[in-house]
Amino acid sequence: MDKQDKKIRRKKQRTAALCSKEGISLTSHPTQTVVVCNAGLTTGASRESIVERFLPHASPRRVRMVPGRQFCFVEFDDEESACRAVEALDGRGCEPVLYLAFTESVPDALCCPPVATALPPGATLVTNIMDETEEQNILSQLTFGDDGSMKHRQVQHFGYEFDYATNNVDATRPLPGGLPAWCEPLVERLQARHLLAERPDQLTINRYLPGQGIPPHVDTHSAFTDQLVSVSLGADTTMEFSRPPPGGATAAVRLPRRSALVMDGEARYLWSHGIVPRKSDVTAGVGGDLTLTPRGTRVSLTLRRLRRAACHCRHPQQCDSRQPAADAEQTAALSRTLESTHVAQVYENIADHFSCTRHKPWPRVEQFVRTLPTGSLLLDVGCGNGKYLGLNRHLFEVGVDQSARLCAIGRARGHQTVTAGCLPLPVRSGAVDACICIAVIHHLATRERRTAALRELGRVLRPAGRALVYVWALEQRLGARSAGYLKRGRQRAGADGRPEDAAALPLPVHTNRTEFQQQDVLVPWKLRGGAELLPSGVHHRYYHVYRQGELEEDARSAGGLVVRESYYDQGNWCAVLENAS
Ligand SMILES: [Zn+2]
Give one DSSP letter per residue of 41-110, joined into a string.
TTTT--HHHHHHHHTTT---SEEEE-TTSS-EEEE-SSHHHHHHHHHHHTT-SSSSPPEEEEES---TTT
For ligand 1, the distance from its centroid to the CA atom of residue 328, given in whole angstroms, is: 17
Packing angle, helices 550-558 and 447-460, rounded to 10:
60
For ligand 1, the distance from its centroid to the CA atom of residue 210, given in whole angstroms, is: 33
Handedness of CA 547, 552, 557, 558 (dihedral sign): positive
How many C-beta atoms lie closer than 10 Å to residue 434's C-beta?
23
Together in a domain, 339 and 314: no
d(CA 512, CA 332): 27
Which among 74, 103, 132 is the end of a domain?
103
pLDDT of residue 532: 46
d(CA 155, CA 301): 10
Together in a domain, 283 and 358: no
Amino acid letter at 390?
A: G
For ligand 1, the distance from its centroid to the CA atom of residue 144, given in whole angstroms, is: 33
For ligand 1, the distance from its centroid to the CA atom of residue 318, given in whole angstroms, is: 7
For ligand 1, the distance from its centroid to the CA atom of residue 192, given in whole angstroms, is: 27
- Pairing verdict, β 432-438 and 417-419: unpaired
Contact 237, 281 (CB under 8 A): yes
Together in a domain, 544 and 425: yes
385 strand-pairing partners = none
Residue 505 lies in a domain: yes
d(CA 198, CA 219): 17
Residue 504 lies in a domain: yes
Residue 268 lies in a domain: yes
Contact 21, 15 (CB under 8 A): no
* DSSP 3-state of 411: helix
pLDDT of residue 488: 45
Which among 36, 68, 103 is the end of a domain?
103
Together in a domain, 81 and 132: no
For ligand 1, the distance from its centroid to the CA atom of residue 248, given in whole angstroms, is: 19
Q: What is the CA radius of gyration of the chain?
A: 36
Q: How far apart are the first and last CA of the chain?
A: 101
Element (H, E) at 260: strand 259-263
pLDDT of residue 227: 95
Residue 113 lies in a domain: no
For ligand 1, the distance from its centroid to the CA atom of residue 325, given in whole angstroms, is: 12
Together in a domain, 479 and 573: yes
Together in a domain, 64 and 190: no
For ligand 1, the distance from its centroid to the CA atom of residue 323, given in whole angstroms, is: 9
Q: Which domain holds residue 33?
A: 3-103
For ligand 1, the distance from its centroid to the CA atom of residue 218, given in whole angstroms, is: 10
* DSSP 3-state of 368: helix
H-state helical runs in 127-183: 132-141
What Å distances lie between residue 553 and 27, 59, 448, CA to CA? 76, 71, 12
Residue 301 lies in a domain: yes
CATH number for the domain that contains residue 531: 3.40.50.150
For ligand 1, the distance from its centroid to the CA atom of residue 270, given in whole angstroms, is: 9
58 alpha-carbon distance from chain centroid: 46
pLDDT of residue 192: 94
Which among 283, 318, 353 is the end of a domain?
318
For ligand 1, the distance from its centroid to the CA atom of residue 372, given in whole angstroms, is: 58
DSSP 257: T
Together in a domain, 452 and 391: yes
Q: Which residues contact residue 171 at a Cβ distance below 8 angstroms, ignoring those fewer than 6 apart?
A: 160, 306, 308
Together in a domain, 279 and 228: yes
Residue 278 lies in a domain: yes
| Closest C-alpha among 135, 183, 190 to residue 156 | 183
* DSSP 3-state of 523: strand
Q: Which residues contact residue 40 at a Cβ distance below 8 angstroms, ignoring those fewer than 6 apart?
A: 49, 70, 96
For ligand 1, the distance from its centroid to the CA atom of residue 49, given in whole angstroms, is: 38
pTM: predicted TM-score of the whole model, two decimal places: 0.55
Q: Which segments in the chain show pLDDT lower than 50? A: 147-151, 480, 488-500, 530-535
What total number of domains does the chain contain? 3
For ligand 1, the distance from its centroid to the CA atom of residue 198, given in whole angstroms, is: 18
For ligand 1, the distance from its centroid to the CA atom of residue 321, given in whole angstroms, is: 6
pLDDT of residue 533: 45
Together in a domain, 166 and 240: yes
Residue 232 lies in a domain: yes
CATH number for the domain that contains residue 219: 2.60.120.1520
d(CA 551, CA 21): 63
Together in a domain, 28 and 164: no
| Closest C-alpha among 292, 152, 253 to residue 211 | 152
d(CA 401, CA 406): 7
pLDDT of residue 515: 81
What Å distances lie between residue 444 and 130, 194, 338, 521, 543, CA to CA? 63, 55, 8, 12, 8
For ligand 1, the distance from its centroid to the CA atom of residue 304, given in whole angstroms, is: 15
DSSP 343: I
Residue 326 lies in a domain: no
CATH number for the domain that contains residue 69: 3.30.70.330
Together in a domain, 489 and 400: yes
Residue ranges of E strands in 211-248: 214-217, 228-233, 237-243
Together in a domain, 472 and 510: yes
